[in-house]
Amino acid sequence: RMDQALLLVRNELPAQGLRLAALSSACHQCLYQFLVFVPPSNGSLRKPGTAAVMVDTQHPLTLSLNSSVGDRELCKIQYHFGEFGNYSLVVKTLSASAKTVSCDLVINEGPINSYLPILFAFLVYMGILAILIVGRLFMKIDPVRNWVYKKLNPRETDRLINSELGSPNTTDSLSSDPTPRLWSTASRQRLRSLDTFRGLSLVIMVFVNYGGGKYWFFKHESWNGKLHFPSALFSRFVFIMGTSISLSLSSTLRWGSSKRKVFGKILWRSFLLILLGIIVVNPNYCLGPLSWDNLRIPGVLQRLGFTYLVVAALELLFTRVGAESGTLETTCPALQDILPYWPQWIFILMLEVIWLCLTFLLPVPGCPRGYLGPGGIGDFGSYPNCTGGAAGYIDRLLLGEKHIYQHPSSSVIYQTTMPYDPEGILGTINTIFMAFLGLQAGKIILSYKDQHKQIMSRFFIWSIVMGIISAILTKCSKEEGFIPINKNLWSISYVTTTSCFAFILLLLIYYLVDVKRLWSGAPFFYPGMNSILVYTGHEVFENYFPFKWKMQDSQSHAEHLTQNLTATTLWVIISYLLYRKRIFWKI
């Protein structure tokens, strides 16, 4: 199967059987897991004892061979097996008189290169991009442009070329109008970089949710550890939601809407997001018709809805007239995007104190206080039912085991048996903090309006600050920090680390799209304009053609990657067509 290799163990020792166990390098402080017993060789027939076993190829393994007589360790081998490879482990004595045992690993059949489909897909998409760029350059040639104008509607074609597929630096805009048509007054009211940022995160999220070609590195980290790209996607989506809250509320209040009316809209939108998450996008549908017996209460949209409610209400309650435009006088102009909002910061800090107290001080039955581990075989199997510590305990206590996620990412490597929900109650506190940091990015854009250098420098400073905090909390290590980076727990170090990269990414996209206008944001801009529709749609229609079809070889990365990329591309095309028709699903 995918991510597996075949290992044939040959035991030439005449009087003792062998016990083979393995330990994955990705499993922190784990127990060795028994794989297979290899019988002793038949000395009279000179026939070695043999046993075959499948071994994992995702991470390097440490193999331990122990004698069945006295449980003595004979040898230990560290090796990273290749996918679909065929290996032999030959165990024998070096000589008849000596008791020294040798363990030789032999490659019978080499593994395949499972990464070639990724390279091929990359070249295909780069080829499509090159064709679009060449087509854009040809459209700058007057005879070609005139021929296209004769075949198509001139006004519509010009809008398509200049506004959606290319750079604003067209011949017409440079020669006749100092302000490119793409950046008219109407379009400047909405920053394309925000929709591009949201769309980029969403497109990759869709690809990962569809399977990511069944590659292990497109899956979430089992527990603590470095940020795989998928592990930061949801946090970036939360971050840019906070940024959008700041800009949209500022615009709405400037148009004269009352705070009471705006708060009513906030409540309604939050309710719809939570309702969509519970009823429409619910992974427990795979267990049969939706019923209260197995209804998963937490979820992505549920957490987005509640986070939106808290952060938007916080911004609405404490917003001050003139603060967002920089006209409000402050004692320290360099902090004009922070000081006017000090009540919000106190509220957020209080939430973080609550998270710290519950995480590290709440007594959890059968678990050490402040436990942050995965349970299962982690921590040498000492706390098998303590998955998530206080976070898991609170969810199981308040929501019930049947109403949370049943198959957490820790179940694969750490073999956990307890249900655990990565979108649970306690982690929502830090999700609010993540959205608040995005809100801070929006305040920077409003406070330093049209001052591009100031905006980008503030983004960079915030990124550095968050990075320093992360380095302190984690001690720059995977497992040994005060609070390790953990997406399942939404630990505070996970928030500071992902926000560090979110500020940098927003800075780059803002520079390319809204400052230098070197990139229109396509194609990610279009899903970003219809994010709720794309996210909900990709979940609802996940198992329907043309987003999924029966594969000839379900153990082929190439087929899975083709299917997942096709489905993701289709949603980008759908969002583009909806954009052309000016159809946007807003709630």
Compute the chain's Rg from CA coordinates.
28
Mean pLDDT of 406-435: 93
CA atoms within 13 A on the CB side of 37: 7
Mean pLDDT of 46-55: 88
Mean pLDDT of 294-305: 90
In terms of Cα–Cα distance, which of 306, 583, 287 is closest to 429? 306
Rounded to whole angstroms, the Cα distance separating 245 from 235 reads: 15
Residue 557 corresponds to which tokens in the numbers above?
């990365």
3-state helix, strand, coil in the chain (%, to 5): 50, 10, 35
Mean pLDDT of 10-17: 84
Q: How far is CA 176 from CA 136, 179, 293, in A?
A: 20, 9, 67
Query: Which of 320-329, 363-372, 400-409, 487-496 is least confident?
Result: 320-329
DSSP 498-509: HHHHHHHHHHHH
Answer yes or no: are the C-beta atoms of 63 and 76 closer than 8 Å: yes
Instruction: Report residue 55: phi and psi, to 5°.
Output: -120, 155
Tell me which of 157 and 61 has the higher pLDDT: 61
380: left (phi over 0), alpha (psi -120 to 50) or beta: left
Within the chain, what is the greatest distance between any pair of CA atoms? 97
User: Is the pLDDT at 114 greater than 60, yes or no?
Assistant: yes
Query: Which of 145-154, 292-301, 379-388, 474-483 is least confident?
Result: 145-154
Mean pLDDT of 119-139: 90
Give whichever of 64-73, 140-149, 226-235, 270-279 has the largest mean pLDDT. Answer: 270-279
Residue 315 corresponds to which tokens in the numbers above?
């911004």
User: Which secondary-structure segment (H or E) carries 579?
Assistant: helix 557-580
Q: Where are the domains of the chain?
A: 4-109, 192-319+336-581
User: Is the pLDDT at 328 greater than 60, yes or no?
Assistant: no
In terms of Cα–Cα distance, which of 2, 56, 5, 47 is closest to 26? 56
Percentage of the chain lying above the pLDDT 90 cut? 59
pLDDT digits (tens, 9 = 90+) for 538-563: 988 988 899 999 998 888 999 999 99
Which pLDDT score, from 0 to 100, does residue 182 have?
A: 36
Rounded to whole angstroms, the Cα distance separating 211 from 225 reads: 21
Residue 463 corresponds to which tokens in the numbers above?
């990124």
**For helices 300-318 and 233-254, what crossing angle results, to 10°?**
40
Mean pLDDT of 340-357: 94
Q: How far is CA 309 from CA 269, 312, 519, in A?
A: 8, 5, 33
Rounded to whole angstroms, the Cα distance separating 152 from 405 reads: 52
pLDDT band at 163 (very low <50, low <70, confident <90, very high): very low
Which pLDDT score, from 0 to 100, does residue 364 have?
A: 95
* Burial label, 86 (beta-carbon count in 10 A; 0-12, 13-18, 19+): middle
User: Is the pLDDT at 170 greater than 50, yes or no?
Assistant: no
Rounded to whole angstroms, the Cα distance separating 387 from 472 reads: 25
Which pLDDT score, from 0 to 100, does residue 216 have?
A: 87
User: Which secondary-structure segment (H or E) carries 492?
Assistant: helix 492-509
In terms of Cα–Cα distance, which of 62, 15, 69 is closest to 35? 62
Q: Catalytic annotation on 220?
A: yes
Which pLDDT score, from 0 to 100, does residue 425 have?
A: 95
pLDDT band at 97 (very low <50, low <70, confident <90, very high): low
CATH architecture of the domain formed by 4-109: Sandwich (2.60)
User: Is the pLDDT at 158 greater than 80, yes or no?
Assistant: no
Give whichever of 17-26, 352-361, 578-587 has the largest mean pLDDT. Answer: 352-361
Rounded to whole angstroms, the Cα distance separating 549 from 530 reads: 25
Answer yes or no: are the C-beta atoms of 245 and 311 closer than 8 Å: yes
User: Is the pLDDT at 166 greater than 50, yes or no?
Assistant: no
Which of 28, 59, 220, 407 is catalytic? The answer is 220
Q: Listing from the earlier edge strand, what are the strands of the sheet with 33-38? A: 33-38, 18-24, 61-67, 73-79
Using DSSP's 3-state secondary structure scheme, residue 29 falls into coil
Query: Which of 107-121, 209-223, 317-331 is least confident?
Result: 317-331
Residue 520 DSSP symbol = -
* pTM of the full structure: 0.87
Average pLDDT of every residue of the chain? 86
Answer yes or no: are the C-beta atoms of 43 and 14 closer than 8 Å: yes
Residue 271 corresponds to which tokens in the numbers above?
């309710």
User: Is the pLDDT at 408 greater than 70, yes or no?
Assistant: yes
User: Is the pLDDT at 464 greater than 60, yes or no?
Assistant: yes
User: Is the pLDDT at 338 greater than 70, yes or no?
Assistant: yes
CA atoms within 13 A on the CB side of 231: 25
Give the type of residue at 72.
R
Which pLDDT score, from 0 to 100, does residue 164 have?
A: 40
Which pLDDT score, from 0 to 100, does residue 152 have?
A: 65
Which pLDDT score, from 0 to 100, does residue 286 have?
A: 53
Mean pLDDT of 394-411: 91
